[in-house]
Structures are given as structure tokens and as C-alpha cells.
Amino acid sequence: MRDRLGIFKRVRTVRWAALSVALWATTTLAAPDAQTILANSDAVRNPERSFGLVVSLVSYKDGKQNEASALAVYSRADPKSGQFRSLLRFINPKRDAGKLMLKSGNDLWFFDPASKASVPISPQQRLLGQAANGDVVTVNLALDYQAVLAGEETIQDGDRQARLCYKLRLSARNPGVTYHAIDLWVDRDGYRSRKAQFYAESGSLLKTAYYRAYQPVLGRERPTETVIIDGLNPRWITVLRNSQFAWREVPEAWLQRDYLPRFRAE
């Protein structure tokens, strides 16, 4: 009888151990590491090698168009840091045509051909409407932010469709980034970014963004439109549309501040 009880206890212990392992494996598969989720979302938004595109920005106030602008963007990842470096050339409006912005590391410069001077600017500085300078440059968030998984939520995306998402809370690793903190909602299936909320150091909400219009671009489906809503006035909206994607070589010279006066658009 004792032998039978001993066998039953051992079998029960083995079963509990197997069940614990199964539960651990299921949980692990269901919720990857937060930094991995963030890196996977970066890979969806950003092509893996150097490329070019055109960003069009339109701002609206109380339902009426207020401002518009367009920039050509040339980006490539730094082989050492993995972070993107970008040259941006203003196309429209006509008064800004030919002006340049350069992002290298956490440094951002603005160049005006009229004065032939390049001056440092802040990524937080307003570019147009609710869009900051840092919103139009290519960024791998996983390199600039520490991510924590805050759970899973079903949200409405920019097209009012229900999406089951991981919610990530991102904290800036250094003071040179555009936002002090970000809440980011990423699809559980496919790691597509759907929504983000951006916060100032004080904790106040600066803006909410919705990533939409996913289309096959440079090898995979990527968002081609971002709708940015002001954190104080939801009737102030800026829409960023990306188009004319192309693989292209971005010469190292283009990404040097000293080269800006000599840059000529192809």
C-alpha cells in the first residue's frame, strides 16, 4: 500500500512539474521580451538597408487645412550604432525648397542655402503642425528607448478597427531623443505599430499618433500614413504620408555636416 501511495505521489509530482513547464512555455511564447517586441516593430516600420522616400505633411485646425510641406528623405543605418542617419531636403513650399536637415546620431542640423550656414536644432522643435523634426527622421526606437511590457489591450486603430496589441512603455535612454516617454501599441500578430502616445518629461501628453495605410513597400508591409493628434486640442491634426519609396545608396558624404553647402539634388 505504501509503495502504491509513493508511486501516486511521484506521478502527481511529475504531472505538476510537466504542467508548470507547459504553462511557462505558453506564457513565454505568448509574451516575448518587451525589447524584442520593440525591435520587431522597428523592422516593420524601417527598411533594413539604405533607402529614399518622400514625406508629405498636411496640418489641419478645426477641420480646415492650415499648412502643407514635403521633404525628400535619404536614410541609412550606421554600421556601428545601428541607428539611422538621415538627410532631409525640403521640396515644398517653394519658400523652403532646397533647405536641408541632417540627423547623425542624436545631433540634428538645419541648413539654409541662402545663408550657407548650418545650425544645430532640437528634434523636439516643431516642424509643421503637430509634427516635430524628430517625427520625420528614420529611428530605431529599440536603440533609444528601454521597453517594458505593460500588458495586452484591444484598441481601435486609425481606421476604427479592433486590434489585439501588446502595450509597451518606453523610457528614453538619453536626453537627446525626441520624447521623454512613449506608450506604444503593437499588433500581437505581425508586430505592426498601431498607436503611440508621446509624453514630455513632466508627464503631460504631447500627442497621439495612429499608424495606418499599411502597404507592401521595400520587401514587406509598412505603414505609409501617420495621423498625429495634438495632446491638448484633438481638433489639431497633422497627417504624414510616405510615398516614392526606393532602395538607394546614400553616400557617406551626404551625411556629413561640412558637405551640406555642396549638396545637389539628383
DSSP state of 95: G
Least Cα distance to 120 among 106, 132, 131, 130 occurs for 106
Residue 146: the pLDDT is 98
- The domain 36-262 is classified under which CATH number: 2.50.20.10, 2.40.10.120, 3.20.20.140, 3.30.750.200? 2.50.20.10
Is 101's pLDDT higher than 80? yes
> Beta-carbon neighbour count of residue 122 at 10 Å?
12
Q: How far apart are the first and last CA of the chain?
A: 89
Say what the pTM is: 0.86
Is 102's pLDDT higher than 90? yes
pLDDT greater at residue 134 or residue 4: 134
Is-contact 247 233, C-beta < 8 A?
A: no
Residue 5: the pLDDT is 44
Residue 31: the pLDDT is 66
The pLDDT tens digits for 57-73 are 999 999 999 999 999 99
The pLDDT tens digits for 160-170 are 999 999 999 99
Residue 30: the pLDDT is 57
Separation in Å, CA 170 to CA 132, 173, 220: 18, 9, 25
Is 23's pLDDT higher than 70? no
Separation in Å, CA 231 to CA 31, 45, 198, 207, 235: 30, 23, 9, 4, 10
Ordered by start, the domain boundaries in the chain are: 2-30, 36-262
